[in-house]
Amino acid sequence: MWVYEKKLQYPVNIKQTNPKLAKIIITQYGGPDGELGASLRYLSQRYSAPYPEVKAVLTDIGTEELGHLEMVGTIVYQLTKGLTLEEIRAQGFEDYFVDHTTGIYPQAASGVPFSASALQVKGDIITDLHEDLAADEAYKYRQLVFMVYNVSCCQNSTRD
C-alpha cells in the first residue's frame, strides 16, 4: 500500500537531553490535537468523502501526518535517551518515567493518554472539514512554540 523509506524526510539529530522539553513536545505526538489524532482523523474521514479527489487528498494528508508522528516521536526519544536519575528528578520527568520509562507513549503534556474521543468523524464532508480546520488551527502551534522557547532557552536565565 505504501512504500516506506527507512529515513526521516527531515532528520532529527538532538545531542542534548531535555526531559522537561520532551514532556511538552509529547503533546504534539499524542495530545488531543497531536499527530496521532490528525492521522486517524484524515484517514478515517476519507471513507465517506463524496468524490475520489477529496478521498485522495484526505489519504495524502493522513499519510503525511503519520510522517509527522514519526518525527515528533524521534524528537521525544532523542530528548530522553540515556537520562540519568538525577536528570529525571531535576527536570520533573519522574511522573512520566514511572509509567513509561523513556518509551514514547501517546499522551498530552498534562499526562492524559491519547483518546479517540478527541476527534470526530461524522461522515458529512462539511462537518468533517470543519473538524479538520479546528484541529489544525494555528493557535496550538503558537502555544507550543511559546512553551518550547521558554523551557529550552530561558530555563537557566535569572529574573530581576
Query: Is residue 72 a contact partner of residue 28, using CB atoms and an 8 Å limit?
Result: yes
Distance from chain centroid for Cα 156: 26
Nearest to 24 by CA among 146, 118, 153: 146
- Domain 19-152 of CATH type 3.20.20.70: no
Of the listed ranges 6-20, 31-45, 77-91, the one predicted with least confidence: 6-20
152: exposed, middle or buried (Cβ count in 10 Å: 0-12, 13-18, 19+): middle
Tell me how far apart the alpha carbons of residues 131 and 138 are, in angstroms, rounded to a whole number.
14
Taking all residues of the chain, what is their mean pLDDT, rounded to a whole number?
85
**pLDDT tens-digit series, residues 93-124:** 999 999 999 999 999 999 999 999 888 889 99
Phi first, then psi: give them for residue 82, nearest 5 degrees. 70, 25
- 159: its cell numbers: 529574573
Higher pLDDT, 158 or 52: 52
**HSE of 159 in the Cβ direction (CA atoms, 13 Å)?**
3
Query: Is residue 99 a contact partner of residue 55, using CB atoms and an 8 Å limit?
Result: no
pLDDT interval class at 160 (50, 70, 90): very low
Domain ranges of the chain: 19-152
